[in-house]
Amino acid sequence: MATSNTALVTGASGGIGMELARIHAQKGGDLVLVARSEDKLEALKAELESEHGVSVLVIAEDLSQPEAAGIEISTLINNAGFGGHGLFHERDITSDQAMMQVNMVSLTNLTHYYLQGMVARQNGRILNVSSTVSFMPGPLQAVYYATKAYVTSFTQALAEELAGHNVTATALCPGAVATGFVAAGDLDGVDIWKNAKSADSVARCGYQAMEKGQLVAFNEGRLKFLLNWIIPLLPRKTVLKISRQFMEKK
């Protein structure tokens, strides 16, 4: 498999990851698809190879386990991640530990593994899928919000470090997205997902931002304005109350 235009996409078996893989294939790029569901990955592989004539490698890995690395690539898309609803002290700590492993540790490990080659070749792109929730604390999703704050902060720091190396790092920060995330994270009944955006539209926003080397990409202008110009001016306790209200189940 050639490395000149090969993208590795984690969490590629559905949602934003699947749509990002489709966009890359439409542009003629080869792919390494990573997720736990081998059947879904194989189906996507068949679709992309048939429709776009690209080469696709499937790696069925549980990214909650350490050392889940792949092969040399030129574009890294860290999309894998999951959440979980409830009071922190009542949640199963092993679930939150797995969340931290996937959302932060595996993302960091994969980035370190592939970034060295990108810098050596003076060419590469990184897209880390974060969230608008990374800009505030998240009562009832305390660990998930914190993991995404890490992703957004980490990505921006990388972008500055990589200036001058022809390697870019972009954080995609969408609002609510219509994916399997809601069911997996026990978020049914939370109002903000009633107007969730499509995974395809979010993926296109992120991919375009990555191509342009943007630092942070929002798929909704009103959320960008709210997070950049309103939330920072509010008292911290007010922000916490608003954040909790967003996560309350009706």
Q: Among all residues, which ones are annotated catalytic? A: 144
Q: For the chain, how are helix, strand and coil distributed in percent, rounded to 5?
A: 50, 15, 30
CB-based contacts of 187, cutoff 8 Å, min separation 6: 83, 85, 181, 193
139, 240 Cβ separation under 8 angstroms: yes
Alpha helix segments (H runs only) across 53-105 = 93-100
Task: Specify burial of residue 17 (Cβ count, 10 A radius: 0-12, 13-18, 19+).
Answer: buried
CB-based contacts of 163, cutoff 8 Å, min separation 6: none
Task: Specify burial of residue 237 (Cβ count, 10 A radius: 0-12, 13-18, 19+).
Answer: exposed
174, 216 Cβ separation under 8 angstroms: no
**Structure tokens that stand for 136 in this block:** 């505030």
**DSSP classification of residue 212:** H
